[in-house]
Amino acid sequence: MLRYICIRILSMIPILLGVSILVFATFHLVPGDVVDIMMGDEVAGDPKVLMELRKELNLDKPVYLQYLYWLWDAVRGDLGKSFTSGKPVMEEILHRLPVNVELMIIAIAFVILIGIPMGMLSAYKQFSFLDGIVRVATIMGYSIPNFWLATIVVLLGSLYFRWLPVLQYVPFSENPLENIKCMVIPGFVLGLTTLSYIVRMTRSSVLDTLRQDYVRTARAKGMTEKLVLFVHVLKNSLIPVITVLGIQIGVLIGGLVLTEEVFVLPGVGRLILLAIEQRDFMIVTGSILFIASVFVVINLIVDIVYAFLDPRITY
């Protein structure tokens, strides 16, 4: 197991390098350079200032050197300075990160705590009324765009229930209770699509496992249905669910941008959106590199969880 974890950690390095090259290339190999894009239509920038800026960003050096400088800084946690605010990008990200982390935790908790039991129940009572409702609800669930649902929730909240805290973010450190109040709904909305996938996956996986010979063996040993379900079926059925959850975390991260936008929460997603609008590419590259790296690490964790669940995995 330890060897497997080490190998997986090492195999992360080329992926991270690839990610950094892609991010770098996207922003540095387009026609013109960052400075041109940044200035946009305002052609009349002071040439001296532009030169300074190019020098500071190492744009006067060959491309591969630019990349290496950039990468070296990034590895040390320096993602450059924002063009607009002048603050280090890393500081901007870390300042907003708690919002994202909290939203993700709420969404994932919601998905796991409701999705897995619901999927199991639906499978165990296959063809029942409940199963029918769950199946229809999940198909609907992943057809609803979460930004629309968020919009409607805000609409209903403010218009009909006079329930305004939705749009007033309170940091956790200031007032934990108020903070959770304004984060729970966005978290649920964010998790809804994923919840539908997880319920469906759990359901089909449990159904598949229930048909396996070893479940019959467990019953033939005289195990109670509870033991059969929670000892023999659950662990086996979670294996494919974990894979789907890993993929879905990427979807959730994408959804964060939209959720933050609609609920006006000051997270990294809104930071990126604002930066794109203001052509602050240091923030955009930095944030995307940061989030992609976090995602790579999350995937690593999912893989390790997977290996713990399935002893057949060998490397």
Query: Does 77 interact with another protein (rule: CB under 8 A)?
Result: no
Q: How many CA atoms lie within 13 A of 124 on its CB side?
A: 14
Partner residues linked to 81 by β-bridges: 88
Which residue, 180 or 244, is less far from another protein as judged by CB? 244
Among 35, 38, 192, 284, interactor with another protein by CB under 8 A = 284
Tell me the closest approach of the beta carbon of residue 84 to another protein, in angstroms: 15
Binding part of the chain for another protein, among 24-32, 67-75, 90-98, 100-108 by CB under 8 A, reads: 24-32
Separation between Cα atoms, residue 57 and residue 281, nearest integer Å: 12
Residue 122: CB atoms within 10 Å: 25
What residues numbered 157-186 form the site for another protein, per CB under 8 A? Answer: 158-159
Contact 186, 263 (CB under 8 A): yes
For residue 39 the two structure tokens come to 């200035």
Tell me the closest approach of the beta carbon of residue 92 to another protein, in angstroms: 17
Query: Does 151 interact with another protein (rule: CB under 8 A)?
Result: yes
Tell me the closest approach of the beta carbon of residue 79 to another protein, in angstroms: 14
Which residue, 7 or 51, is less far from another protein as judged by CB? 7
Separation between Cα atoms, residue 74 and residue 107, nearest integer Å: 29
Q: Which residues contact 232 (CB under 8 A, 6 or more apart)?
A: 214, 215, 218, 223
Among 82, 179, 236, 259, interactor with another protein by CB under 8 A = 236
Which residue, 179 or 236, is less far from another protein as judged by CB? 236
Query: Does 276 interact with another protein (rule: CB under 8 A)?
Result: yes
What residues numbered 30-49 form the site for another protein, per CB under 8 A? Answer: 30, 37
Among 7, 63, 75, 140, interactor with another protein by CB under 8 A = 140
Separation between Cα atoms, residue 308 and residue 1, nearest integer Å: 8
Separation between Cα atoms, residue 181 and residue 170, nearest integer Å: 9
Query: Does 68 interact with another protein (rule: CB under 8 A)?
Result: no
If you count them, how many residues does the chain have?
Answer: 315
Separation between Cα atoms, residue 188 and residue 213, nearest integer Å: 38
Among 35, 218, 229, 282, interactor with another protein by CB under 8 A = 218
Query: Does 261 interact with another protein (rule: CB under 8 A)?
Result: yes
Which residue, 130 or 296, is less far from another protein as judged by CB? 296
Angle at 30 between CA 90 and CA 292, to 5 degrees: 35
Among 130, 212, 266, 302, interactor with another protein by CB under 8 A = 212
Separation between Cα atoms, residue 240 and residue 184, nearest integer Å: 28
Binding part of the chain for another protein, among 13-21, 76-84, 104-112, 177-185 by CB under 8 A, reads: 13-21
Query: Does 1 interact with another protein (rule: CB under 8 A)?
Result: no
